[in-house]
Amino acid sequence: MKQKFPLSKTYLPIIILVTLLVLFLPIYARFSSGTPVFPSDESYYHLGIIKSISSDNFNFQESQISSFHYFMSFLVSLFGDSITWIITILLGLASTVFFFLNSKILIKDELTVLIATALFILSPIFLFVFSIFTPYSLVLFLFLLFVFAYLKKSYFSIPLLMLISITDFSFYLLSCLFIVAYYFYSSNLRFSIITFIPSVLSLLLFSFSNNFLFLSLTKATFSTFFTSFGVISGISFFYLFMALLGLFLAWSDKKYFVHILFFFLLIFSFSLFNVQGKIALNILLCFFSAILIVFLSKREWVIVTIKHFTLLLIFCGIIFSTSLQVNQLILVNPTNELFLSLDSLKITSQNQTNILSHPDYGHMINYFSNKESVFTSFSGSDAFSNVSNDILKSRDLSLFKSYLDTNSISFILITDDMRNGLVWSQEDEGILFLIKNTPDFRKTYSSDTVEIWSYDLFNDWWKEPLYE
């Protein structure tokens, strides 16, 4: 019998409106303060690829390219740069709708579906995926669309899984995991295999023709797991806590509890190493948290007074997580000052020179200044660590100059974060003393938080500072 959802007609438009509001909030705040719309260095890595994908000198071997980049590059060539953030928001909106539709199929209770969807929209990970420019936005949408098609037993799920396989390998693994998990529930082996096999072929074909990143596993660290630790790609601790309690409630479902627990732990372990894992875990957290909230609101409380307080605390906790994430996305780099400093470098004719800075700024430097950063966050962190210890923290001028000459570096970008712990922790430590007291170095840009120093590699024409 078809499930009836009378509340959905009223609430779905509200959900869509809230989604738009939540996604527009960081964009509007950044835009109105003159800051580049997309936060995070990662956005500029992908924007950089799209910008250069059509150029002749694009190096396919050095970049981690996926179908997302081809797709966006095609759209940018048709509609211009501003299509990037419109598409990101549209993908967010579509993902919300498919999350809702999937929840309707998987969960029979309407209130749980609505709350799970609300939690999904307000989750920090959702904001992260659809506020920065990343392939995760496309692949999450494809994943939810694939799940929807698969749950409907539509053969449309086959091309979708193939598309996922050439967009993000981690999500491909998660999709396969979903097929296995759903098999325990539906026992439809034939459909599972028919969906799975073509995707393996597409994955292999794409991997041969592109330098496709299989698994971007990082070292598991607790410090990058939660948003409250200042990480924009983190999980909300409040969500995790609610979900664990929700999981505890699922214990009563003796038939499937072991399976649920197994897949939860598997995805949880995956999420410790990988952003895609956190995105998948977030979906589970939304479901289990919704189960808890519905349980608490429907339960007949013995102490009625604390029922309202508890639900209010939960509401406050959710809003608190969301507002914290919105705030982080508004304040995160590139700031207006960093953008202006990098933009100032565009006017120099030295396109062949490199810029030395922390890897966290690498892709932003490449994108905004039209020059090459020596280190980037995707590839240069280990190398930078060595250079930082051996050269940047040392006061050996000849060693430093020799390093700059060897790497054709004529600009050094220094931010307040670098001075306060990211690279140095003391005033005038290492090269900070050298650049201040050596005539070879000249401050060419200075603002409250950013400085650019030029090095006389082969120039005599930096006579005056460009900005002060």
Binding positions for another protein, rule: CB under 8 A: 222-223, 228-230, 237-238, 241, 245, 248, 251, 296, 301-303, 306-307, 309-310, 313-314, 316-317, 320, 324, 420-421, 425-427
Q: Residue 407 Cβ, how far from another protein at the closest point, in Å?
A: 29
CB of 88 to another protein, least distance (A): 25
Q: In the complex with another protein, which residue's Cβ is closer, 237 or 378?
A: 237
- The least CB distance from residue 311 to another protein, in Å, is 9
Least CB distance to another protein at residue 242 (A): 9
- CA dihedral (83, 274, 330, 413) positive or negative: negative
Would you list the DSSP string of 381-447? Answer: HHHHHHHIIIIIT---HHHHHHHHHHTTEEEEEEEHHIIIIIS--STT-THHHHHHH-TTEEEEEE-
At closest approach, how far in Å is the CB of 336 from another protein? 21
Q: Give the Cα separation of 277 and 231 in Å (integer).
A: 15
Smallest separation (angstroms) from another protein to the CB of 195: 38
Nearer to another protein, 142 or 235 (CB): 235
Q: Which is nearer to another protein, 21 or 313 (CB)?
A: 313
* Minimum separation from the CB atom of position 245 to another protein (A): 7
Q: Contact at 8 Å (CB) between 265 and 281?
A: no
Minimum distance from residue 270 beta carbon to another protein (Å): 20
Render 23-80 in DSSP notation, one character per residue: HHHHHHHHHHTT--SS-SHHHHHHHHHHHHTTSTT--TTTS---HHHHHHHHHHHHH-
Closest CA to 98 of 57, 65, 126: 126
Residue whose CB is less far from another protein, 265 or 313: 313
Minimum CB separation of residue 421 from another protein in Å reads 7
> Exposed/middle/buried for 4, CB within 10 Å: 0-12, 13-18, 19+?
exposed
Residue 207 C-alpha from the chain's centroid:
23
- Rounded CA-CA distance 392/414 in Å is 11
- Cα 297 to Cα 314: distance, rounded to the nearest angstrom: 11
End-to-end CA distance of the chain: give it in Å, rounded: 71
Least Å from the CB of residue 310 to another protein: 5
Nearer to another protein, 111 or 245 (CB): 245
Q: Which residues contact 46 (CB under 8 A, 6 or more apart)?
A: 68, 69, 72, 133, 134, 135
85 or 238: CB nearest another protein? 238
| Pairwise CA distance, residues 241 & 228, whole Å | 13
**Cβ-based nearer residue to another protein, 428 or 456:** 428
Nearer to another protein, 323 or 379 (CB): 323
For another protein, give the closer residue by CB, 311 or 399: 311
CA distance 52 to 58: 6
Q: Which is nearer to another protein, 24 or 237 (CB)?
A: 237
Place of tokens 């605390």: 313
Sheet of 450-455, strands arranged across: 372-373, 354-356, 409-415, 450-455, 441-446
Q: 3-state DSSP call for residue 133?
A: coil
Torsion angle, CA of 141/146/148/149, rounded to 10 degrees?
140
Least CB distance to another protein at residue 222 (A): 5
**Closer residue to another protein (CB): 73 or 381:** 381
